[in-house]
Amino acid sequence: MGGFLKLVLTVSVVLAGVLTRTDCGSFRVFRAKVSGFSWKNCGQPDDPAVLKSLSLSPDPIHIPGTLTAIASGSTSVQFTSPLSLNITLKKEVATIWVEIPCVEQMGSCHYPDACDLLNQLIPPGQDCPEPLHTYGLPCRCPFKAGSYSLPKSDFYVPDLDLPYWLTNGNYRVQGVLGSGGKELGCLQVSLAIESS
């Protein structure tokens, strides 16, 4: 669940912003706020991975700025590579939820191995970043079966470079973890992005 939580937080933070074009053609988040954050488990009752609690504050969360997170969850099976991840990203357009396609590995994408994604974020051999390191939470595969909890912790959310098609609006993100063709867990996150 530690990796699942990290992926959920990463997706939430990536969505959190307003974009502006720079000379090099990239986009940078600036002076944005994320509000109305909510989540729910969306898997089957017998899924082995379950998020039990997740709280982010303040509301709204300002980008750049500091957010506070508290979370807990459990998995009844060990997570090992390969660990598939299917992300579905939808944006509300005129009261209709429209799926955003996968563009440059962002949007509604299939990732064959989430363990590889975590290794790219935190290369093997490096300590897990704070506060995960302090609380003994893993940040890369394998994840042992058991319960995990993140006490109240602060994270700094910096400016983020994002593609132009992530703009203000209401979003829903669903992540489904799987292994060997079986679903391990499903989480849906909803939030609103607004420029300041």
**What pLDDT sits at residue 24?**
36
Asked if 142 and 118 count as a contact pair (C-beta separation under 8 A), the reply is: no
DSSP state for residue 121 in the 8-state scheme: H
Instruction: Set out the domains of the chain in order of their start, with CATH numbers.
Output: 2-195 (2.70.220.10)
Q: Residue 63 phi/psi, 5° resolution?
A: -120, 125
* Digitized pLDDT (tens) for each residue of the chain, 196 residues in all: 444 444 444 444 333 332 333 333 444 445 678 899 999 999 999 999 999 999 999 999 988 899 999 999 999 999 999 999 999 999 999 999 999 999 888 889 999 999 998 998 889 889 988 888 898 888 889 999 999 999 999 988 887 665 666 678 899 999 999 999 999 999 999 999 887 5
Task: Specify the pLDDT at position 32.
Answer: 76
Nearest CA to 28 out of 16, 36, 20, 40 is that of 20
Q: Rounded to an integer, what distance in angstroms lies between the CA atom of residue 140 and that of residue 30?
A: 30
pLDDT of residue 92: 94
3-state DSSP assignment of residue 2: helix
Are the beta carbons of 38 and 173 closer than 8 angstroms? Answer: no
**pLDDT score of 132:** 86
Exposed, middle or buried: residue 24 (CB in 10 Å: 0-12, 13-18, 19+)?
Answer: exposed
Q: Which of 108, 121, 123, 103 is nearest to 175 (CA)?
A: 108
What pLDDT sits at residue 72?
A: 94
How far apart, in whole angstroms, are the C-alpha atoms of residue 180 and residue 183?
A: 9
